Amino acid sequence: MFKNHFTLIYHGAHLEISFVTSNPGKFSEAEKILNKYGINIVHAPLHLEEKRSESVEEIAEGCALRAYSALRKPLFVEDSGLFVPALNGFPGTYSAWVLKKLGNEGILRLLDGKERAAEFRCAIAFTEGKDVRLFTGSVRGRVSGSIRGNGGFGYDPVFIPEGEEKTFAEAPSLKDSLSHRARALQKFGESLSRK
Ligand code: ITT
């Protein structure tokens, strides 16, 4: 059913790891970074129901366990979102839904006249069936004044990472080194390649 899987040499044997996500943008970023650790990845495009929580860690953990019940093979999932302190953390773990309903234009409207600091957070949850291991990453920055750039996905056209002037969508290569996802994936890749 799923054509794409990670293949990793793990204790001298092949370990197949599926990345369960409905988001192709997440998948291609993960593929690029994990390949650097010798982990070949591909895709289990399931959409998992998420429990309500304000914590990306809690959501990722629950999704990993649900995905494992369905697939019964080593896998990881990832939950992420944009957290804006001036909006009390909104859209946070509701980021996917809010983007669908309001778009980036809506986020810009909500922030009109407000402090524009923002943070992307990501939690990766990996399981081989017994326990769940979490790897987190975040990046601070600000929401731009307008929608800029065509690269990336989601909120990339309105997010400028700290110390930079371009949005992630204008300079998608920035994401490989300093995005919330890149930082969590680096920890994950290092941990798996140490085994
Ligand atoms: P899953 O199937 O993996 O859950 P999803 O897109 O629904 O895919 P989430 O529930 O984790 O993923 O929602 C996170 C949303 O936050 C995502 O849809 C984007 O709108 C936004 N987001 C997360 N990471 C982002 C990034 O690197 N750049 C831009 N927007 C991002």
Tell me what pLDDT residue 22 has.
Answer: 95
pLDDT band at 41 (very low <50, low <70, confident <90, very high): confident
Mean pLDDT value of segment 101-126: 98
Give the whole-angstrom CA distance, residue 143 versus residue 116. 5
Q: Give 49's contacts (C-beta < 8 A, 6+ positions apart).
A: 66
Residue that has been written with the tokens 């990501």 in this structure: 122
Mean pLDDT value of segment 106-111: 98
Tell me what pLDDT residue 40 has.
Answer: 82
Q: What's the pTM?
A: 0.93
Give the whole-angstrom CA distance, residue 49 versus residue 100. 16
Mean pLDDT value of segment 120-139: 96
- pLDDT cut 70: percent of the chain above it: 92
What is the whole-number distance in angstroms between the Cα of residue 130 and the centre of ligand 1?
26
96 lines ligand 1 (CB under 6 A): yes
Give the whole-angstrom CA distance, residue 119 versus residue 81. 8
What is the whole-number distance in angstroms between the Cα of residue 14 and the centre of ligand 1?
29
Tell me what pLDDT residue 55 has.
Answer: 98
119 lines ligand 1 (CB under 6 A): no
Tell me what pLDDT residue 8 has.
Answer: 56
Q: What angle do CA 163, 79, 164 make, to 5 degrees?
A: 10
> Which residues partner with 160 through β-bridges?
142
- pLDDT cut 90: percent of the chain above it: 84
pLDDT band at 195 (very low <50, low <70, confident <90, very high): low
Closest CA to 151 of 166, 181, 171: 171
CA dihedral 56, 57, 59, 63 (to 10 degrees): 130
* DSSP tag of 49: P
Average pLDDT of every residue of the chain: 92
Q: Determine if the peptide bond prior to 85 is cis (ω within 30°).
A: no
Strands 43-44 and 13-20, bridge-based pairing: parallel
143 lines ligand 1 (CB under 6 A): no
Per-domain residue ranges of the chain: 8-193
Closest CA to 59 of 122, 102, 120, 137: 122
Which one is predicted more confidently, 77 or 50?
A: 77
* DSSP tag of 3: -
Residue type, 153: F
Q: What is the pLDDT of residues 12-33, one digit of tens each?
A: 556 679 999 999 999 999 999 9
**8-193 architecture in CATH?**
Alpha-Beta Complex (3.90)
